[in-house]
Chain A
């Protein structure tokens, strides 16, 4: 056991009936690291996190959290973890204040109430509001407060900024960075590429229940693609544009509207467009799902060819 590791997962397998949800997940997260965990829907992100918390039991493989086995020492492991579930379900007939006091009680009141109020103030969360009256974003804030309030050594965050407005997302990033500065290990899943780029130190990509790759945020950025919608003032010949390196045609409307897919930098495209009568340009960034689909398309083709 490496003492510098906060999380070690080895050859983790999990079946749901006949569905093989995790097919040998291997990963290692160092102490104090901010680790992004990405993957398309149904890839096994939440299943891996739930195994770490001993909410579900894997059929094979091992997990060590700060050197402890969650199946043997679930309470000890969970006392070191702050968790935000991806699908946050909360009781409704209770005030935010009472809910947080209840969570404090579950941690045997080892949480500073002053720190809790500081967190709620920072996230602008009203303590006297009944949970049933909270918006999705405010429920997410409550989830974040309960995850951050124990000042745990490890934070497991499933989509931490889901439902939050951009300003509040920035506040959360700052809070996570300051937690990291205090030595907290942060393991989070996300669908927002900019979020991963902004805060993660390392990124693992899980796909079909197995870690497909472990990369740096800069490598992730290079994987990203953009769609560019261009409206011209008159009909044009698009060939000089589509012949550019890293650019391909997605759709062509009436000859005045085109959509291009751009991989990497946009410099060449913009310089070439200077010669055209451009009406408007709209840039769309690919979602994580689209990137995964595109990125693994060739691999799947190869796999299907192998089968044939």
Chain B
């Protein structure tokens, strides 16, 4: 496992250095501007003149002159998206990306178990993300007194813990989807879309309180951002991490038994997909029934003169293929929301009790 861990770190180090440098500059730039915002005359009047919708969307804007309010709005509202893009991209390529490129065949022909490969790579990814966040944290902590932030390193650390947890949720979700969906591109796209939509919906729910009950079903609701500087909801953070762990387990178990694809092989067949494969014929029959519902049956006379209804792809059928894909995607989204809610609430309850 150590060989795989070290090799993955080596592969990710270039990206990690790039993202770390970017985040350091981002932190330094925003930190250096805090002094001027804090002492700005009439900032409260300016903010009050903003439309209520904008104020609500960015959460703590009313408290922009406080360190936590400033960091919440300027830093922690967007950094989860920035780091999320890297995390999703890295995670979808962590194993399935190599499989698509045909690299996994040679690696798995060596005496390394699939579990060691999987956890070695995942552990390396966690290490890289932790390092990036640690560097970002240091870029705020070290010059904090010069920037005028009156915060301790622990207070700075709390939102980073929440950030780490939410990043883990979306990256392990991307990993899971990369095993379920026919291509890493599709998995990355769907995970990224889920993250961005979740982010936007959280913002909108602050404008429209009617949306708020629904947001509890999404993981981004449990990301505290700069609000964690004052107090970190340990239950929420723990819940997010547990969700991430369960996503990772859900991806790992089927990886142990499935066929390693040769490079270039992709399939939208439902049967080989891990979990569905377990349920086996029943699901395949449902799949066939759905497929037949959308198929156009065209009578054809074969050599023996018998009328048959072979499967033939029509334009309608292609559209229907997309409908099935969208239905599957919708199913995944619903599963993911309900699953997240149950885990996070259970973890939160557990933390409250103990």
- A: which residues have CB within 8 A of B? 17, 46, 50, 53, 55-57, 74-76, 78-79, 81, 83, 85, 87-91, 93, 98, 102-103, 105-108, 143, 146
**Residues of A contacting B6 in the complex (Cβ-Cβ under 8 angstroms):** 105
Of the candidates B11, B112, B257, B271, the one whose C-beta lies within 8 Å of that of A75 is B112
Please judge, given known A-B contacts A57-B257, A105-B2, A105-B3, whether A90 and B103 are in contact too, CB under 8 Å: yes
Q: Which of B1-35 contact A (CB under 8 A)?
A: 2-4, 6-7, 10-11
- In the complex, what distance in Å separates the CA atom of A46 from the CA atom of B2? 30
**Residues of B contacting A102 in the complex (Cβ-Cβ under 8 angstroms):** 3, 7
Please judge, given known A-B contacts A17-B269, A106-B3, A106-B112, whether A55 and B105 are in contact too, CB under 8 Å: yes
Q: Which of B265-320 contact A (CB under 8 A)?
A: 267, 269, 271-272
Contact A89–B103 (Cβ < 8 Å): yes
Interface size on B, residues (CB 8 A): 29
Q: Closest residue to B109 on the A side, CB-wise?
A: A83
Contact A106–B110 (Cβ < 8 Å): yes
Q: Closest residue to B107 on the A side, CB-wise?
A: A106
- In the complex, what distance in Å separates the CA atom of A287 from the CA atom of B287? 44
Contact A83–B3 (Cβ < 8 Å): no
**Residues of A contacting B109 in the complex (Cβ-Cβ under 8 angstroms):** 53, 55, 78, 81, 83, 85
B310 to nearest A CB, angstroms? Answer: 14
Q: Which of B73-117 contact A (CB under 8 A)?
A: 101-103, 105-114
The contact sample of 29 A-B pairs, CB cut-off 8 A, is A17-B267, A17-B269, A55-B105, A56-B259, A56-B260, A57-B257, A57-B259, A76-B111, A78-B108, A78-B109, A78-B110, A79-B111, A81-B109, A87-B263, A89-B102, A89-B105, A90-B103, A90-B106, A93-B11, A102-B3, A105-B2, A105-B3, A105-B7, A106-B110, A106-B112, A107-B110, A108-B3, A108-B111, A143-B106
Of the candidates B108, B113, B271, the one whose C-beta lies within 8 Å of that of A17 is B271
Interface mask (B126-142 → A, CB under 8 Å = 1, otherwise 0): 00000000000000000
| Sample of 16 more A-B contacts, CB < 8 Å, known A56-B260, A83-B109 | A46-B262, A50-B105, A53-B109, A55-B108, A74-B114, A75-B113, A81-B109, A87-B262, A89-B263, A91-B11, A98-B10, A103-B110, A105-B2, A106-B3, A106-B107, A106-B111
Contact A107–B106 (Cβ < 8 Å): no
B96 to nearest A CB, angstroms? Answer: 14
Nearest 7 pairs between A and B by C-beta?
A: A105-B3, A89-B102, A79-B111, A106-B110, A83-B109, A56-B259, A55-B260
**Residues of B contacting A91 in the complex (Cβ-Cβ under 8 angstroms):** 11, 103
- In the complex, what distance in Å separates the CA atom of A261 from the CA atom of B106? 41
- In the complex, what distance in Å separates the CA atom of A55 from the CA atom of B260? 5
Please judge, given known A-B contacts A105-B2, A105-B7, A106-B112, whether A83 and B106 are in contact too, CB under 8 Å: yes
B313 to nearest A CB, angstroms? Answer: 16
- In the complex, what distance in Å separates the CA atom of A212 from the CA atom of B246? 48
- In the complex, what distance in Å separates the CA atom of A55 from the CA atom of B103? 12
Interface of chain B, main secondary structure: loop
Which of A46, A56, A83, A89: most chain B CB closer than 10 A? A89
Q: Closest residue to B267 on the A side, CB-wise?
A: A17
**Residues of B contacting A108 in the complex (Cβ-Cβ under 8 angstroms):** 3, 111
Interface Cβ pair total, 8 Å cutoff: 72
- In the complex, what distance in Å separates the CA atom of A108 from the CA atom of B3? 8
**Residues of A contacting B271 in the complex (Cβ-Cβ under 8 angstroms):** 17
Interface mask (B153-169 → A, CB under 8 Å = 1, otherwise 0): 00000000000000000
Of the candidates A75, A85, A93, the one whose C-beta lies within 8 Å of that of B105 is A85
**Residues of B contacting A75 in the complex (Cβ-Cβ under 8 angstroms):** 111-113
**Residues of A contacting B267 in the complex (Cβ-Cβ under 8 angstroms):** 17
**Residues of A contacting B114 in the complex (Cβ-Cβ under 8 angstroms):** 74
B337 to nearest A CB, angstroms? Answer: 32
- In the complex, what distance in Å separates the CA atom of A78 from the CA atom of B110? 6
**Residues of B contacting A143 in the complex (Cβ-Cβ under 8 angstroms):** 106
A65 to nearest B CB, angstroms? Answer: 12
- In the complex, what distance in Å separates the CA atom of A83 from the CA atom of B262? 15
**Residues of A contacting B113 in the complex (Cβ-Cβ under 8 angstroms):** 74-75
Contact B4–A106 (Cβ < 8 Å): yes
Q: Which of B39-93 contact A (CB under 8 A)?
A: none
**Residues of A contacting B10 in the complex (Cβ-Cβ under 8 angstroms):** 98
Q: Closest residue to A102 on the B side, CB-wise?
A: B7
Which of B2, B109, B114, B262: most chain A CB closer than 10 A? B109
**Residues of A contacting B101 in the complex (Cβ-Cβ under 8 angstroms):** 89
Contact B108–A53 (Cβ < 8 Å): yes
**Residues of A contacting B259 in the complex (Cβ-Cβ under 8 angstroms):** 55-57
A53 to nearest B CB, angstroms? Answer: 5
Q: Closest residue to B260 on the A side, CB-wise?
A: A55
Q: Closest residue to B111 on the A side, CB-wise?
A: A79
A154 to nearest B CB, angstroms? Answer: 12
- In the complex, what distance in Å separates the CA atom of A143 from the CA atom of B102? 14
**Residues of A contacting B11 in the complex (Cβ-Cβ under 8 angstroms):** 91, 93
- In the complex, what distance in Å separates the CA atom of A53 from the CA atom of B107? 11
**Residues of B contacting A87 in the complex (Cβ-Cβ under 8 angstroms):** 102, 262-263
- In the complex, what distance in Å separates the CA atom of A87 from the CA atom of B259? 17
B40 to nearest A CB, angstroms? Answer: 47
Q: Closest residue to A46 on the B side, CB-wise?
A: B262
A272 to nearest B CB, angstroms? Answer: 47
B255 to nearest A CB, angstroms? Answer: 13
Q: Closest residue to B264 on the A side, CB-wise?
A: A87
**Residues of A contacting B103 in the complex (Cβ-Cβ under 8 angstroms):** 89-91
**Residues of B contacting A55 in the complex (Cβ-Cβ under 8 angstroms):** 105, 108-109, 259-260
Q: Which of B231-281 contact A (CB under 8 A)?
A: 257, 259-260, 262-263, 267, 269, 271-272
Q: Closest residue to A17 on the B side, CB-wise?
A: B269
- In the complex, what distance in Å separates the CA atom of A233 from the CA atom of B9? 70
- In the complex, what distance in Å separates the CA atom of A89 from the CA atom of B269? 25
Contact B106–A85 (Cβ < 8 Å): yes
B283 to nearest A CB, angstroms? Answer: 15
